Structure 1
Amino acid sequence: MSNEETMSSMGELLNEYDVKKLNRGEILKGKVIDVNDKEASVNINYAFDGLISKEELSVDGKDPRDVVSTGDEIDVYVISPNDGEGYVELSLVRVLEIKEKEEIKESFKEQKNITVKVKEETKGGVIAYYGNVRVFIPGSLVSRQRIELSTLVGTELEIRITELDFRNKKVIGSRRVIEEEEYNKNKKVIWDSLIEGEKRSGIVKKLVKFGAFVDIGGVEGLIHISDLSWERVNSPEDVVKEGDSVEVFIGSVDREKERLSLILKDVTKEPWTVHSEDIKEGDLVEGKIVRLAAFGAFVELFQGVEGLVHISEIADERITKPSDVLEVNQKVKVKVLNINIKEKKIALSIKEAAETNKEYVNYVDNEEEEGTSLGDLLKGFKFN
């Protein structure tokens, strides 16, 4: 057949299909007529069938038979009107990419979330795909919490596009921004629910010199070292450890500055309240010296209840400093001079307790001769 006859036959064939000349980049509708492990043939209602290679069917090297099936109607992208072997070279990946790019543009413009699949870990983050569009998620934007990037490979993540520049192939996504929004939303609900004095369960997150930070389910509060126990605490580690589960009371709540104070010691067992009826002015009691200062000595009368013996009330003779005659953990008899439960202050005297003891001893010696019992003499006095 001559060239003229060939061209005539080609023209008749094209006229029969009534199609225009195909151009690179066109998107056509087609129907899969055959598929094998290397490629898929597509009827595009043209003089020649189209052919989609395995690489142009998916970006992750799937078997073509897992991507399309005979009879599927699909949109295809024209790579070349003639591949040199009588077929139109087509792509499914590229037409999908065009649609997916449009969806990404819309989600970026409206700040909507999209779901991507993480394919691999790379330097500084992970590579994910939205269909056939590559998305980079920096490690700092993967989560608001520390996470091993390798554990994300093969998983799906809901993210938001934060930077978009298709021309320079720059598509940046963030999971962290979504988590931050959820956290802040939940945090507001929690802050609004906090009631002073209420008891909550929490986890000790961090210990510092002045106390412990505890998470009570979305917000963190500080237990000051003085609120860890009714007893004197030298270091938070003496009471709690990081990771401990604790029951705490809500102290003060500052919603505007998002500051929360917590109390670990049981507020219902506040020593000054518990022992308010056990101490009266004039009582003679025994206590333990817990601290020495230049101006006097602090004496623990009950666990969590301390009083001060001023330096002038330690002994009859003048002393330079309390440590000259007293030492920490020493047990002493003291007399209650004054008590202020509201301000949690007690004034004590060691020298008056000693004088009172002498008076009682002398009185007892005299009265015993007259038949008075020791029990009668000590009525009204308290000794611990």
Structure 2
Amino acid sequence: MESFASLFEESLNRKEMRAGELITAQVVRVEQNVVVVNAGLKSESYIPVEEFKDAAGNIEVKAGDFVTVAIESLENGYGETRLSREKAKRLAAWIDLEQAMEEGRIVEGYVSGKVKGGLTAMVNGIRAFLPGSLVDIRPVKDTTPYENKTMELKVIKLDRKRNNVVVSRRAVLEEIMGADRESLLENLKEGAIVKGVVKNITDYGAFVDLGGIDGLLHITDLAWRRVKHPSEVLTVGDEIEAKILKFDQEKNRVSLGIKQMGDDPWNGLARRYPQGTRLFGKVTNLTDYGSFVEIEQGIEGLVHVSEMDWTNKNVHPSKVVALGDEVEV
């Protein structure tokens, strides 16, 4: 990287200078109201001291320092060329944003408030527009939680002449998710235990975000007991652990199971409950042909309607028991 001193020498050797250009100057002295600099021109230039102060009001330079300044106007009738530190900072900020857009580099921005169609963000001291559709990967109805926060963004559109900058947070998230997804795909294998967040629930199961790829948790793999609807076991936003039952690498499909993380309660059932054993259970379901009774977690047995009453073999189960009843079987 070139030093300020070498850039200064280069500035001195240049024969032509144009308004709006960036040049390197050396601080000669710092006075009460101005900073005097030498940019290799016919005379020294005076720049308001306020342009060299930081946010706390402290002067950032001293005699001998090299600084980048912008040519505001060429020599006037008095042989003076007006230079600006503030415009140099702003021009450098625009150049940096242009490079960030070309390179796809992430920049930091402070989201300061809400505007029509999205949010406004300050990036490198330049006001940028963050469309509501680019705040997150999924549609966002209320952008309030994103206000007054510093976040990582990508510049996706820039027009310096119109003072127009458009940024995207979604592009950053997609890039991160893409990297996470590749890493996840490399490590996915059947039988592995993974963590995820429930993102959607349907009648047949739940979709779990594993961090860049979704897995399907079928209703039959939620629990060893009978589950009528996945919402009995899960809610959207739940953080869960599950076992990978099947992974199709070509289609990037992952099948998950929760019940498979524990022992199958049906194993050893005959040993625990020999034929003729009397025990208590809870009525969990009623049908026309009988009632289901849970005798331990995950184990339900059918009491057929013909076994419910000695005198009336065709009685409806609801006439004998009710859901939740504790019964002896």
Structure 1 residue 248, shift from structure 2 partner: 3.0
**What is the aligned partner in structure 1 of residue 192 from structure 2?**
198
Output the CA distance in 2 between the equivalents of 1:18 and 1:254: 65
**What is the aligned partner in structure 1 of residue 3 from structure 2?**
none
Output the CA distance in 2 between the equivalents of 1:176 and 1:90: 39
Structure 1 residue 190, shift from structure 2 partner: 1.8
CA contact (8 A) 1:32 1:42 kept: yes
Structure 1 residue 254, shift from structure 2 partner: 4.4
1:30 to 18, 25, 32: 25
Report whether the alignment pairs 1:42 with 2:37: yes
1:128 to 122, 125, 147: 122
- Taking only the aligned residue pairs, the percentage that are identical comes to 28
Output the CA distance in 1 between the equivalents of 2:15 and 2:31: 29
Report whether the alignment pairs 1:91 with 2:88: no
Report whether the alignment pairs 1:178 with 2:178: no
Matches within 5 A, 1:206-285: 214-216=208-210, 219-233=213-227, 239=233, 246-255=240-249, 258-265=252-259, 267-277=261-271, 283-285=275-277
Output the CA distance in 2 between the equivalents of 1:119 and 1:75: 28
1:293 to 278, 287, 291: 287
Structure 1 residue 113, shift from structure 2 partner: 0.4
Residues 294-330 of structure 1: CA deviation (Å, up to 9, x unaligned): 3x22444743344556656777888555438743447
Output the CA distance in 1 between the equivalents of 2:15 and 2:119: 47
**What is the aligned partner in structure 2 of residue 74 from structure 1?**
67
Residues 241-266 of structure 1: CA deviation (Å, up to 9, x unaligned): 66665443333434555544433335
CA spacing shift, 1:259–1:151, aligned 2, 3 Å: farther
CA spacing shift, 1:105–1:151, aligned 2, 3 Å: closer
The structure with the largest alpha-carbon Rg is 1
**What is the aligned partner in structure 2 of residue 137 from structure 1?**
130
CA contact (8 A) 1:30 1:44 kept: yes
Q: Which residue identity is paired with 2:112?
A: E
C-alpha RMSD of the superposition: 4.4
Q: Which residue identity is paired with 2:43?
A: F
**What is the aligned partner in structure 2 of residue 379 from structure 1?**
none
**Secondary structure at the residue paired with 2:59?**
helix
Residues 181-204 of structure 1: CA deviation (Å, up to 9, x unaligned): 111221232234233333344555
2:107 to 101, 107, 115: 115
CA contact (8 A) 2:193 2:243 kept: yes
1:187 to 178, 181, 198: 181
Output the CA distance in 1 between the equivalents of 2:148 and 2:249: 37
CA contact (8 A) 2:305 2:317 kept: no
CA spacing shift, 1:276–1:246, aligned 2, 3 Å: farther
Output the CA distance in 1 between the equivalents of 2:111 and 2:147: 10
Output the CA distance in 2 between the equivalents of 1:89 and 1:237: 70
- Which has the larger helix fraction? 1
Output the CA distance in 2 between the equivalents of 1:78 and 1:143: 41
CA contact (8 A) 2:201 2:207 kept: yes
Q: Which residue identity is paired with 1:115?
A: V
Structure 1 residue 180, shift from structure 2 partner: 1.2
CA spacing shift, 1:114–1:57, aligned 2, 3 Å: farther
Deviates more, 1:317-326 or 1:97-106: 317-326
Structure 1 residue 73, shift from structure 2 partner: 2.9
Structure 1 residue 162, shift from structure 2 partner: 0.5
CA contact (8 A) 1:54 1:62 kept: no
2:146 to 146, 149, 158: 149
Residues 349-371 of structure 1: CA deviation (Å, up to 9, x unaligned): xxxxxxxxxxxxxxxxxxxxxxx
**Secondary structure at the residue paired with 1:189?**
helix
CA spacing shift, 1:233–1:31, aligned 2, 3 Å: same
Report whether the alignment pairs 1:164 with 2:164: no
Gaps spanning 5+ residues in structure 1: where?
1-16, 334-384
Output the CA distance in 2 between the equivalents of 1:159 and 1:43: 38
CA spacing shift, 1:216–1:105, aligned 2, 3 Å: closer
CA spacing shift, 1:276–1:88, aligned 2, 3 Å: same
Q: Which residue identity is paired with 2:256?
A: L
Residues 143-178 of structure 1: CA deviation (Å, up to 9, x unaligned): 5588833442xx5x5432201222222121223312
Q: Which residue identity is paired with 1:149?
A: Y
Output the CA distance in 2 between the equivalents of 1:247 and 1:105: 44
Gaps spanning 5+ residues in structure 2: where?
1-11
Count of paired positions:
307
